[in-house]
Structure 1
């Protein structure tokens, strides 16, 4: 099969499409012919540093959508030709290839009216947003949330899901993205390049703060966000933990939630792994019903994946970039 090969850690900018042997599904697995694969910051970050268990050449790519080509023993929920989407296991060969293997119980079947390109936008960004809001923060209607980087993949999905859940939504975004994030559902957009989001949120909430924060930026940003959490507030963090010890205060208790969606494959907890498909099924239904926008901003040929990842590295991309195979 043809695949975009990473020949060594740090060489992701130089990846090229080459021929490798097609993988074979084992028990409980299925081989999927990839039609579309989403690009994510984790692709260039892992491609830069590598993972100790990888053997090179490696294939990156965690967002995958396509048709079932072959099923291994014990797979009975899917048939040859089914349209599916799945979150790939980061330790295995990924979706930047003509074919990829997945555990069948972690895949979701596409509704008839959902395109491969839109489905491929979901797994890393969409599932992460869903897990953060509903499995970690357990958001409640009528409360408030600050979602950082609202114009990005995780942030954009989180805004849409939070809006449907009935929250008041604050988000950070550059000025040129304010109309975009408000169209997704944000009530208040803060230009973090021009003003302090801490001061602005304190002003907007009368000094009370927000009930929830979803931080997708990093440890320092998450730490600053603690200053605008309301009493008994919750923060979910993806890109780095806040400095918790500096904020543990009896008079102002808050709760911390670490979100690491893809790490579930390294656990032995099959029940938790199966929740990936449950999230996927729900989000696909929302897409099918027109209640969720996939936010696909660019569709690129597979040969341009390295250039797409370079765009993501600038942190200026709206929504999702999808490669087509």
Structure 2
């Protein structure tokens, strides 16, 4: 099979497509003929320092959509020919290849009405946003939420999900992306380069603050975001923990939620791993119903993935990039 190979850590920008042997599914696994693979910042971030569990050459890629080619022992719910989408295990070889292995209990069924490209945009960014909003923050209609980096993958999906649930959505984004985030459903967009997002958020909420914050920027940004929260509310963070003591008091208790979507694969909790499939099923239904835009800004070839990851690393990308792997 053809695969995009990472020969050693920190060589992700020079990866080349080569021929390697296709894997075989073991007990509880399926072999997927990958039709499309989504790109995410986690791809280049983990490849920069490598992982002690990897054997080189390694294959990056966490988001895959395709057709089941073969099933392993004790797999009874899936069969060859089934269309699927899934979020893969960071510790194992990934989806930037014609064939990849997935855990059978973590994949979601893909209807014919949804393209492989659209589906491949969902898992890492979409499931992360879904987990943060529904599994951790437990959002509901009438609340106000501050979502950082609204033009990115996680932020963009979070805006859409929050708006679908009836929240007032405030987001941060560069000014040239304000039209984009408002089309996704943001009620207010704050240019974080020109405005103090704390001051502007408090102004928009009449000094009360927001019920929830989703931060995918940094620990420092998450810490500053605590100042935007109203009494007894909460923050979910992805790119670094806030200072848990900053701004927290008896008169202003807050709750903190760490988001580590792929970390579930390092757990022995199969039910939590299976929640990846449940999130996939629910997001596919939202896509089918026209309630979700996969936000694909560019569709590329497997050979073009390294350069696209460079663009991601420079934060020059709005929405999602997806690679077509097989035809």
Structure 2 residue aligned with 1:103 = 103
Matches within 5 A, 1:302-313: 302-313=302-313
SS of the residue 2:323 aligns to: strand
| Superposed CA RMSD | 0.7
SS of the residue 2:271 aligns to: helix
SS of the residue 2:92 aligns to: coil
What stretches of structure 1 of length at least 5 have no aligned partner?
A: none
Residues 1:167 and 2:153 are matched in the alignment? no
CA contact (8 A) 1:153 1:320 kept: yes
Taking structure 2 as the reference length, what is the TM-score of the superposition? 0.98
| Whole-angstrom distance in 1 between the partners of 2:137 and 2:6 | 36
SS of the residue 1:241 aligns to: coil
- CA shift, 1:78, in A, is 1.3
| Whole-angstrom distance in 1 between the partners of 2:299 and 2:193 | 29
- CA shift, 1:248, in A, is 3.0
| Whole-angstrom distance in 2 between the partners of 1:111 and 1:181 | 28
CA contact (8 A) 2:226 2:246 kept: no
Matched residue count? 325
SS of the residue 1:290 aligns to: coil
| Whole-angstrom distance in 1 between the partners of 2:95 and 2:44 | 14
| Whole-angstrom distance in 2 between the partners of 1:290 and 1:245 | 42
CA contact (8 A) 2:69 2:80 kept: yes
| Whole-angstrom distance in 1 between the partners of 2:197 and 2:247 | 18
CA contact (8 A) 1:39 1:309 kept: yes
Residues 1:222 and 2:222 are matched in the alignment? yes
| Whole-angstrom distance in 2 between the partners of 1:17 and 1:43 | 16
| Whole-angstrom distance in 2 between the partners of 1:109 and 1:196 | 43
Matches within 5 A, 1:112-191: 112-191=112-191
Any idea what the Cα deviations from partners look like across 1:36-86, whole Å, max 9, x if unmatched? Answer: 000000000011011111111100000000000000111111111111001
| Whole-angstrom distance in 2 between the partners of 1:203 and 1:309 | 37
What stretches of structure 2 of length at least 5 have no aligned partner?
A: none
- CA shift, 1:245, in A, is 2.3
Residues 1:294 and 2:304 are matched in the alignment? no
| Whole-angstrom distance in 2 between the partners of 1:12 and 1:112 | 33
Structure 1 residue aligned with 2:39 = 39
Residues 1:274 and 2:299 are matched in the alignment? no
